[in-house]
């Protein structure tokens, strides 16, 4: 009897253990299924998101369908943009020029290369004692004139093609601006009633002002829009004493160095 009970108890214990194993296996299987469902759900979500992004961002349409032609057009546009930027820089920001003649000795000499800019005159006025380059033809200048000159007279044309500086380009020092009164006497130049101390004048020769007009000897007042210029080598300079006042619009730029 005891043996039978023992056998029954052992069988019961084995059944309980088997049931426990089955339960554990069921739980593991359920967890695995849940994990697989989560992974599948994540994959579906990723796929759905990708599809939505694809739908939201349609393929870019080009008005030129041929890829090669499109690349060529892009390169042409880049080159044209670079040319426009170079013209703007050469016209208004930074430009080179050459000195022709001896009117600015000893400050600048014949064949010297000088650098000039027009930028200060876009936002401000021409000031006394500045050295400027101007177009002595005094012809009307406009944007197209500036562009044409920028293409013709630049660092590349000077270096590679030995382009000559226009003969109408003069380099001089600004002595008087609009509103100033300038007068010449034997002892020198008077500006607004005061004798100028012109240390920049060629020291090898004493300036001679005896052959000037009566107006300059009596004194003239510079009108708006004009400047009075002279070369530092006074006895060998064609400047406002002979060619007259210089219109501000004829000034190409301010010399900023060599």
Question: Is residue 138 left, alpha or beta, with left meaning phi > 0 and alpha meaning psi from -120 to 50?
Answer: left
Statement: residue 6 has pLDDT above 70: no
* Per-residue pLDDT, 107: 95
* Per-residue pLDDT, 125: 95
Q: Is 100 exposed, middle or buried (0-12, 13-18, 19+ CB in 10 A)?
A: middle
Q: b/e map of 66-92 (b: 16 or more CB within 10 Å)?
A: eeeeeeeeeeeeeeeeeeeeebeebbb
Statement: residue 50 has pLDDT above 60: no
Phi, psi values for residue 109, rounded to 5°: -120, 165
User: Structural domain boundaries of the chain?
Assistant: 1-59, 94-257
**Which H or E run contains 248?**
none
* Per-residue pLDDT, 44: 42
Statement: residue 59 has pLDDT above 80: no
* Per-residue pLDDT, 156: 79
- The predicted model scores a pTM of 0.70
Mean per-residue pLDDT for 9-20? 46
* Per-residue pLDDT, 239: 96
Q: Which fold does the domain 94-257 belong to in CATH? A: Umud Fragment, subunit A (2.10.109)
CA–CA gap between residue 108 and residue 155 (Å, rounded): 19
The residue among 110, 103, 114, 88 whose CA lies nearest residue 172 is 103
Integer CA distances (angstroms), 247 to 134, 168, 225, in order: 9, 14, 6
Under DSSP, the state recorded for 87 is H
Structural tokens at position 29: 């299987």
pLDDT band at 83; cut points 50, 70, 90: confident
Contact present, 189 and 129 (Cβ < 8 Å): no
* Per-residue pLDDT, 112: 92
* Per-residue pLDDT, 240: 97
């Amino acid at each position: 009897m005891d043996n039978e009970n023992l056998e029954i108890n052992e069988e019961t214990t084995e059944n309980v253990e088997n049931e426990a194993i089955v339960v554990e296996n069921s739980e593991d299987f359920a967890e695995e299924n849940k994990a697989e469902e989560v992974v599948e759900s994540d994959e579906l979500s990723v796929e759905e998101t990708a599809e939505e992004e694809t739908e939201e961002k349609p393929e870019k349409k080009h008005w030129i369908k041929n890829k090669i032609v499109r690349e060529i057009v892009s390169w042409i546009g880049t080159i044209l943009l670079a040319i426009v930027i170079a013209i703007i820089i050469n016209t208004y920001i930074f430009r080179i020029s050459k000195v022709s003649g001896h009117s600015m000795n000893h400050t600048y000499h014949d064949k010297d290369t000088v650098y000039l800019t027009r930028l200060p005159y876009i936002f401000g006025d021409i000031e006394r004692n500045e050295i400027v380059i101007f177009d002595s033809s005094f012809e009307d200048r406009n944007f197209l004139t500036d562009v044409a000159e920028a293409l013709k007279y630049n660092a590349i044309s000077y270096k590679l093609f030995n382009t000559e500086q226009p003969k109408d380009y003069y380099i001089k020092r600004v002595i008087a601006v609009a509103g100033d009164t300038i007068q010449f006497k034997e002892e020198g130049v008077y500006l607004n009633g005061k004798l100028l101390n012109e240390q920049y004048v060629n020291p090898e020769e004493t300036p001679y002002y005896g052959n000037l007009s009566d107006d300059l000897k009596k004194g003239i007042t510079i009108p708006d829009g004009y400047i009075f210029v002279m070369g530092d080598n006074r006895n060998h300079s064609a400047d406002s004493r002979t060619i007259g006042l210089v219109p501000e619009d004829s000034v190409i730029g301010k010399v900023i160095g060599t």
